[in-house]
A and B are shown apart, each in its own frame.
Chain A
Amino acid sequence: MSAATHAQDHGHHDDHAHHPTGLKRWLFTTNHKDIGTLYLWFSLTMFFMGGVMALLLRAELFQPGLQLINPEFFNSLTTVHGLVMVFGAIMPAWVGFANWLIPMQIGAADMAFPRMNNWSFWLVVPAAILLVASFFVPGGAAASGWTLYPPLIIQQGISIDMTILAVHILGASSIMGSINIITTILNLRAPGMTLMKMPLFVWTWLITAYLLIAVMPVLAGAVTMLLTDRHFGTSFFNAAGGGDPTMFMHIFWFFGHPEVYIMILPAFGVVSAIIPAFARKPLFGYASMVYATASIAILSFIVWGHHMFTVGMPAAGNLFFMYATMLIAVPTGVKIFNWIATMWQGSMTFETPMLFSIGFICLFTIGGFSGLVLAITPVDITLHNTYYVVAHFHYVLVSGALFTLFAGAYFWIPKFTGKMYNESLGKLHFWLSVIGFNIAFFPQHFLGLAGMPRRIPDYALQFAEWNMWSTIGAFIFGFSQLLFLYNMIECIRSNRKAADNPWEGADTLEWTHLPSPAPYHSFETAPVVK
């Protein structure tokens, strides 16, 4: 076993030659940048798969009546679109950024556990295989919605078992990845990099990883109970045996609500890096950003009931979950105002990362406000399971998490590749995305308020107009993402050399201490942070 100890006193990097090349490089890699790259390409692939599913759904909903696909397949597409986007696209993409950026931003050479890091990634792939292959087994893919509620899920066929085991494997991957991230942040910081000097992306990931370790095992427990109820005769969710299907909802959403913050907290970190860079001002209220992130994380454990106001909880429970949910608006508001205050009197320029970040602030705020509307119990009782809910969570997940992923990709690709992306094409991608997205999802607020239920392949005639617009917008948005793929590949293959720090206002270690592209091993000697 060759010792790859990066001892300072070696003075030279003798282990470069030992790295396998070709396929073996990617299968066996223990390098945080290689693993980050694997995560990012994987998530982009899953994003396009989930996107195709979404466009099939929207194509069916273009007109009232059943045109293209049968209702069972519609249900499967809804379910797997959700699972693929949450567990295959958004979460692995953030882990990809975490892998690339955390060691560079804290002045470490790599992640604390490089081999376990490799396993975290290579566990995601078998899980994705199980999920996608479930379309091709008898009975079709899971058709229960991504929340996997019993009793429906108890009745369906073999694909449910594949989905459940995929969730188990994804959970193992997330827990190992999170343990790695927390350990790296707590134990591998450069001298002088105190906790309150860490870039906010590192802070938000520290808290995200904590949430993941706290709730992924709970999801694993919940789906294990589903599995035993299905095959081994237990009665956790069977009223006849003394259990209760709503028990699953409680356990699931105890995981599910922190899960949505798992997808959005790293986005807050990215925006907190990009806004100061393009406003050429330090971030306003750094400490309050850290405390707000922690508050959001803690509150996320006591609001799960707002996903189930209509299930018949006692009134006191409904009231508690309503007020607790509204409380989250306070730390979130702190963040929004801090970003605006950072821009205030800054000398701003509007390159693609900044455009996506500002788009995020505007559109995520709309999603936050519709969340407040839904938090009001009596209002939610009429809006529950309508398109208003669909509009709400796409505003926080697409224009929230996804837009910031794009912002991060454009912002850091010069550091990742040493090349500059095409600015005009980047801006075109932004404008097409923002226009397509709003045409697709804004009308869904109206549809929901008018009473159109979600997860149904057909609808009454009065909903036809806005559904047509929504489908047109979805196709504009979906096909614009091919431009993102083109932009990334074009950037990688271009000759436009990027400077070590192409952004005037960026001041974290990866910009100030490392060349572009960042070397294979980031900091063999830890930098001293003042």
Chain B
Amino acid sequence: MGNAQPGGYYFAPPSHWPIVGSSALLLMAIGGVMLMNSVGGGGWIFLAGTAILVYMLFGWFGTVIRESEGGLFNKQVDMSFRWSMSWFIFSEVMFFAAFFGALYYARVYSLPWLGDADNKLLWPEFKAHWPSAGPYLPPQFSAMGAWGIPALNTFLLLSSGVTVTYAHWALRMNNRKGLILGLLATVLLGFTFLGFQIYEYVHAYADLNLKLTTGVFGSTFFMLTGFHGFHVTLGAVMLTVILFRSIKGHFTADHHFAFEAVAWYWHFVDVVWLLLFVFVYWV
């Protein structure tokens, strides 16, 4: 392994997409800073940056797809893609680790410390029981129960893991119909999950008085489930792209890295959800 095959490794020619992407991110950052600090016009700059970013993503991925379908990627390029996707998912794992770390730290250290004898003088009324919004904020909120929508969502995501695996199996068997139906089911399950998630947020804000500002419980709850939901959205969009590519006839039984990359990503999102279900909703 690891040997450069003489000839055939595709090295991309000069490209304008990266600098377009950098300009987009600079505009988004400037616009975002202005928005957060209520400087006029920030929203428009942010929107312009986002539009350029979307344009860049279409252009860049479109180029890669044309290269792939043009047969420019040999086995070694394929292996590069596999390594890079694995390491990218590892970086995502570490991103979520930061927020899970915050959750554990708050539950295991900071809340008990705030409820201990040293802090009794400052906050005599405070009882350090999870779920908690901290000693200062009014405590009237309810945590999200695990066995309603979250359990249903767990079922949806696990089923989508099965359907995407079925689609992969069908692709390898050259069963195009199975591929497309499997992907379609996965996409639908993914978007249904997102719909329930939105419903759950509305329920939290309207009925449970559980908000992003509800102390450390609200912070960890919405940041963890929010970033997860954002990743599910990305995954569902990527699955949709893969679905349309499959309908157009892309991918063969032995050349379909993009499909596998999205499937890996989907499984990763699935595993994060299981951790969320256990540590955010359940225990």
Contacts and interface: CB of A to CB of B under 8 A. Distances in A.
Interface string A213-236: 111111011101101101111111
A238 B17 CA distance: 41
Contacts of A193: 2
A242 B110 contact: yes
A28 B15 contact: yes
B14 A244 contact: no
Interface stretch (B181-189, B210-218, B231-239, B251-259): B210-218
Interface in B34-81: 36-37, 39, 60, 63, 66-67, 70, 72, 76, 79-80
Contact of A217 (B11, B94, B219, B220): B94
B154 to A, nearest CB: 24
Contact of B91 (A3, A213, A228, A244): A213
Nearest to A121: B18
A6 B7 contact: yes
Q: Which of B15, B21, B60, B70 has the most chain A CB within a 10 Å cutoff? A: B15
A482 to B, nearest CB: 30
Given A5-B10, A220-B95, A169 B25 contact: yes
B84 interface: yes
B6 to A, nearest CB: 5
Q: What DSSP secondary structure best describes chain B's contact surface? A: helix
Interface in A166-196: 166, 168-169, 172, 175, 178-180, 182-183, 186-191, 193, 195
Interface stretch (A64-72, A83-91, A124-132, A318-326): A124-132
Q: Which of B79, B95, B136, B218 has the most chain A CB within a 10 Å cutoff? A: B95
B99 interface: yes
Interface in A45-88: none
A1 interface: yes
Given A165-B32, A235-B134, A240-B136, A112 B72 contact: no
Contacts of B113: 244
Given A217-B94, A235-B134, A242-B106, A20 B10 contact: no
A499 B172 CA distance: 54
A9 B7 contact: yes
A108 B6 CA distance: 10
A186 B30 CA distance: 37
Contact of B29 (A4, A130, A214): A130
Given A125-B22, A242-B114, A233 B134 contact: no
Contacts of A2: 13
B90 A213 contact: yes
A41 B18 CA distance: 19
Given A169-B25, A239-B134, A179 B88 contact: yes
A526 B7 CA distance: 9
A233 B110 contact: no
Given A169-B29, A213-B87, A242-B133, A5 B8 contact: yes
A273 to B, nearest CB: 21
B16 A234 contact: no
Contact of A8 (B6, B10, B135): B6
Contacts of A130: 26, 29-30
Q: Which of B14, B66, B83 has the most chain A CB within a 10 Å cutoff? A: B14
Contacts, number: 266
Contact of A247 (B39, B66, B110, B212): B110
A116 to B, nearest CB: 8
B92 interface: yes
B276 interface: no
B278 interface: no
Contact of A241 (B7, B22, B133): B133
Given A20-B14, A129-B26, A235 B215 contact: yes
Given A165-B29, A234-B213, A251-B101, A218 B12 contact: no
B111 A1 contact: no
Q: Which of B10, B30, B37, B60 has the most chain A CB within a 10 Å cutoff? A: B37
Interface in A3-25: 3-9, 15, 18-20, 24-25
A496 interface: no
B137 A123 contact: no
Contacts of A172: 25
Contacts of B15: 28, 30, 115, 118
B9 interface: yes
A218 B14 contact: no
A244 B33 contact: no
B157 to A, nearest CB: 22
Nearest to B29: A165
Contact of B94 (A24, A30, A108, A218): A218
A119 interface: yes
Contact of A242 (B33, B84, B135): B135
Interface in B164-222: 211-213, 215-220, 222
Contacts of B98: 217-218, 220-222, 225, 251
Contacts of A178: 87
A172 B70 CA distance: 29
Given A28-B16, A161-B36, A235-B134, A242 B216 contact: yes
B105 A242 contact: no
A526 B80 contact: no
B9 A188 contact: yes
Contacts of A479: none
Interface in B123-159: 132-137
A243 interface: yes
Interface of A: 1-9, 15, 18-20, 24-25, 27-30, 107-110, 112-116, 118-119, 122-123, 125-126, 129-130, 157-158, 161-162, 165-166, 168-169, 172, 175, 178-180, 182-183, 186-191, 193, 195, 213-218, 220-222, 224-225, 227-228, 230-236, 238-244, 247, 250-251, 254, 523, 525-526
25 contacts: A3-B70, A6-B9, A18-B14, A28-B14, A112-B80, A115-B15, A130-B26, A130-B29, A130-B30, A183-B80, A186-B2, A187-B83, A188-B76, A213-B87, A214-B91, A217-B92, A217-B97, A218-B98, A225-B102, A232-B212, A234-B212, A234-B213, A235-B134, A238-B134, A240-B136
10 tightest A-B CB contacts, nearest first: A221-B98, A242-B134, A240-B136, A233-B213, A242-B216, A119-B18, A244-B110, A8-B7, A217-B95, A234-B219
